[in-house]
Amino acid sequence: MDNKDNLMEKIVSLCKRRGFIFQSSEIYGGFGSCYDFGPLGVEMKNNIKKSWWDEMTKLHENVVGLDASILMASEVWKASGHLTAGFSDLLVECKTCHKRFKTDEVKEKPPTRASSVGGRCPECGGELTKAQLFNLMMKTFVGPVEEKASSVYLRAETCQGIYVNFLNVLDSMRLKVPFGICQIGKAFRNEITPGNFIYRVREFEQMELQWFCNPKEADKLFNYWKEERLKWYEKLGVKKENLRVVEIPEKERAHYAKRQVDIEYKFPFGWREIEGVHNRGDWDLSNHAKYSGKDLKYFDEVSKEKYFPYIIETSVGVDRIFLMFLIDAYQEIPGGRTKTTESKKEVEIFLKLHQSLAPVKVAILPLVKNKEELVKKAKEVYQSLRPCFICQYDEVGSIGRRYRRQDEIGTLTSVTVDFQTLEDDTATLRNRDTMTQIRVKIPELKEKIQEI
């Protein structure tokens, strides 16, 4: 495969060309580090979310869902530690070009909070200011008149909505510890160094599970959930050699974590975190109890103990793993897989996405577009399959070129309506991965595709 920059460029280009991802506000020159998911992107993103949701709520016992609001009382963020140093970066500003950098991006002797003496601007070599704390939370206003309105924060992690609903969920669902609450939703961070396409952005989606347990069981359950998460990636076909687990030492952990492991993926730009597994101890519930004045302890009827449950958290960004799935599935085949005369000089792109993630499941292709009966029949097939699968109808270009177009977006199967169809009401069904073609009676297509 190409060098790493080239691969990222190709992924970005594929995303735009085939309707996966567009730059936000592109017609206005683009809005930094925000992206829009196009027609195929939204399908694939929904597939990722559905796979995670089903995994959590259907394949694990005692896990229920929640959809909390993005805006919350500001006290939530005081209690969580996000408005204090726990969620801030130390930054310096260049006095010449006015760009800001994290202190650890300044190569030699970065300035400190006490002194600006030290390294120079990594971009222009200018003098730098003293280091200052910069909070990553985004602020907005609630109320009709800005001056009188109260300022609130866009949530920086979805899990706080779960903690503040701990009692509501516990009581309404008559749950007993251990149990889990999972949630998918938007989070916002004023990242200082966004980049690598959708890897680090300022608006993103998280999928988080908060597992409430007896403190005595926390270590065991931490390992359990770490393994469960790894299994999910492997189930979705992510190459094992591209995944690893890194234990985070105490001084580098998030402010709430007693223990933290990062699940990392080998991106073209290096090994990077895709998911965090945290033992948050009683950090969140005890602080919310303190700030809200509510009793958030749990009474265990069997052991007669009363305690703050410990929280084991699994937290992953949808956008980040969207990029991971694309990179992991991306293949280039010089001359194409079918090696037709037409494709010989071309490099075929083949997106071998897991079947549950592929945005399009079926392509319906009339063999030629200038034969009225064929086109009519293909359109009938398309209409009959549309309610069951995400389908694409395509009649433009040679059949080989159309197969390649579908391979480029990872379409699972293609149904070709040809001259024989008009005689015996069968069509060919092509399997993306094996490229085998079988003839199937049109009324049986739905069942056959479901089997695949």
Q: In angstroms, rounded to a whole number, what is the distance separating the alpha carbons of residues 157 and 72?
A: 12
For the bound state, the minimum distance from the C-beta of residue 166 to ligand GAP, rounded and expressed in Å, comes to 15
Contact 358, 414 (CB under 8 A): no
Choose between 87 and 382: whose C-beta lies nearer to ligand GAP. 87
For the bound state, the minimum distance from the C-beta of residue 204 to ligand GAP, rounded and expressed in Å, comes to 4
Choose between 210 and 413: whose C-beta lies nearer to ligand GAP. 210
Strands (E), 55-202: 63-66, 88-93, 100-102, 132-135, 138-142, 150-154, 179-188
Handedness of CA 398, 401, 406, 409 (dihedral sign): negative
Choose between 43 and 208: whose C-beta lies nearer to ligand GAP. 208
Choose between 20 and 403: whose C-beta lies nearer to ligand GAP. 20
For the bound state, the minimum distance from the C-beta of residue 397 to ligand GAP, rounded and expressed in Å, comes to 37
Q: In angstroms, rounded to a whole number, what is the distance separating the alpha carbons of residues 154 and 224?
A: 32
Choose between 18 and 82: whose C-beta lies nearer to ligand GAP. 82
**Residues in the site for ligand GAP, rule: CB under 6 A?**
157, 159, 189, 191, 200-201, 204, 206, 208, 273-276, 313, 315-317, 319-320
Choose between 315 and 392: whose C-beta lies nearer to ligand GAP. 315
Which residues, 6 or more positions from 379, have their beta carbon under 8 angstroms from its beta carbon? 393
Could you tell me the two tokens for 390? Answer: 């995400």
For the bound state, the minimum distance from the C-beta of residue 197 to ligand GAP, rounded and expressed in Å, comes to 10
Choose between 199 and 393: whose C-beta lies nearer to ligand GAP. 199
Q: Which of 317, 238, 326 is nearest to 12 (CA)?
A: 326
Residue type, 292: S
For the bound state, the minimum distance from the C-beta of residue 280 to ligand GAP, rounded and expressed in Å, comes to 8
Residue type, 152: V
Handedness of CA 365, 371, 375, 376 (dihedral sign): negative
What is the Cα 94 distance to its own chain's centre? 34
For the bound state, the minimum distance from the C-beta of residue 240 to ligand GAP, rounded and expressed in Å, comes to 19
Choose between 282 and 313: whose C-beta lies nearer to ligand GAP. 313
For the bound state, the minimum distance from the C-beta of residue 274 to ligand GAP, rounded and expressed in Å, comes to 5
Neighbouring CB atoms inside 10 A of 352's CB total 14
For the bound state, the minimum distance from the C-beta of residue 78 to ligand GAP, rounded and expressed in Å, comes to 17
Measured in degrees and rounded to the nearest 5, phi and psi for residue 32 equal -50, 135
Q: In angstroms, rounded to a whole number, what is the distance separating the alpha carbons of residues 255 and 134?
A: 16
CB-nearest residue to ligand GAP: 317
